[in-house]
Amino acid sequence: MSSPSRPMFFILSIIIMIIFLGGWNVISNNGYFGVRSLHFNLRSSNFSPKEVDKRDWIHSYKPTPNDIDTWIVPNIPDHLRNADQTDPELIRHIRQFWIIPPFEGPISLQRHKNTFPVPGMDFSQSRQPTIINQLLFNKTEGFYVECGAADGEYHSNSLFYELYHHWDGILIEANPLYFKTILRKKRRVFMLNACLSPTRRATVLNFTQNGISGGLTDLIPDEQGMFYKHKKKPIEIQCFPLYSILSALEIKKVDYFSLDIEGAEVEVLQTIPLNETIINVLSVEKRIMNNNEGTSKKIDDIMRVLKPFGYRMERIVQLDVIVSRLPRI
């Protein structure tokens, strides 16, 4: 009896394996962040070895090219609108309903469709990636966060790394009009239509739309927004702390953080527990238009937040201050 049972057990094992692999493929094609997500976490050494409930990685909706125009942000339960950044339910909610997974297939640039691909092309405004690439010693397969991603192409600080260095990352853009444009570009990274909270809690704030100069209404410097800040009706935008967003992705190390949100940069930096979250290099918008004294003070404020965690100023470019805590060689 024992001898015939062994072939039967082997056959059953093969059948179960086929069902499992086939089922996983169906799941990953119908909304799981799935294999790529777990792969980049492991590859970036950010994934803590623990059991993960795969249901947490289900995304309720991934827009297709045909319905991007009707895409709207998800609803958030009332009890999470002001949740603390460490709230597990908030983190799970962001993961399940807000973060859009990477597109697959070719990227669809619009502004550079006649010049792409050009090896090593820097898409940024002030050549930030070229400078930061030197600080990171041409690192490949890193992870970035770009907040203030605009349309995902114009003056992009992250596209260089995605195209030429095979980085993963997340694009965060509050302006819903810009975000739809990001979706049309089919970037191969995570995407989030929200603002970064200037506090350690989720919150809903007024946002003034004004192209690449749009920002949180109450934090746009008066000198910068004097021509539009009080003339355009703001819209309400859901804001999440950066810590909550990174926790939703299970990211504990960021190689490059681009922060360009027209006024709220210092407040956002103050929310990040930099003793827990490793961010190697940052470019932070420092310019306050038509106010040199205000710009100098903002640089001081940025360094006041970052210096206690071992950061030093590397370079000041046209609009940004570039800061690093990597050792110099």
Lowest model confidence (mean pLDDT) among 193-202, 250-259, 282-291: 282-291
* pLDDT confidence of residue 45: 33
In this structure, the dihedral spanned by the alpha carbons of residues 155, 158, 164 and 165, taken in order and rounded to 10 degrees, is: 160
pTM: 0.77
**Type and span of the H or E element at 303:** helix 292-306
Query: What are the chain's domains?
Result: 64-324 (3.40.50.150)
Lowest model confidence (mean pLDDT) among 48-52, 64-68, 78-82, 227-231: 48-52
The partner residues of 145 in beta bridges, in order of sequence, read: 170, 257
Q: What is the mean pLDDT of residues 6-31?
A: 48
Q: Which residues contact 326 (CB under 8 A, 6 or more apart)?
A: 135, 136, 280, 281
C-alpha 278/C-alpha 170 separation (Å) is 16
The structure tokens 């360009």 sit at 260
Q: Are 206 and 232 in contact (CB under 8 A)?
A: no
C-alpha 220/C-alpha 207 separation (Å) is 10
C-alpha 306/C-alpha 266 separation (Å) is 10
Is 80 exceeded by the pLDDT of residue 42? Answer: no
Per-residue confidence band for 264, with pLDDT thresholds at 50, 70 and 90: confident
Backbone angles phi, psi at 13, to 5 degrees: -60, -40
Q: Are 201 and 86 in contact (CB under 8 A)?
A: no
Q: What is the largest CA-CA distance in the chain?
A: 89
Per-residue confidence band for 29, with pLDDT thresholds at 50, 70 and 90: very low
Is 70 exceeded by the pLDDT of residue 150? Answer: yes
Is 60 exceeded by the pLDDT of residue 284? Answer: yes
Lowest model confidence (mean pLDDT) among 49-58, 126-135, 184-193: 49-58
Q: Are 188 and 212 in contact (CB under 8 A)?
A: no
C-alpha 159/C-alpha 171 separation (Å) is 10
Per-residue confidence band for 24, with pLDDT thresholds at 50, 70 and 90: very low
Residue 197 is classified by DSSP as -
* pLDDT confidence of residue 46: 39
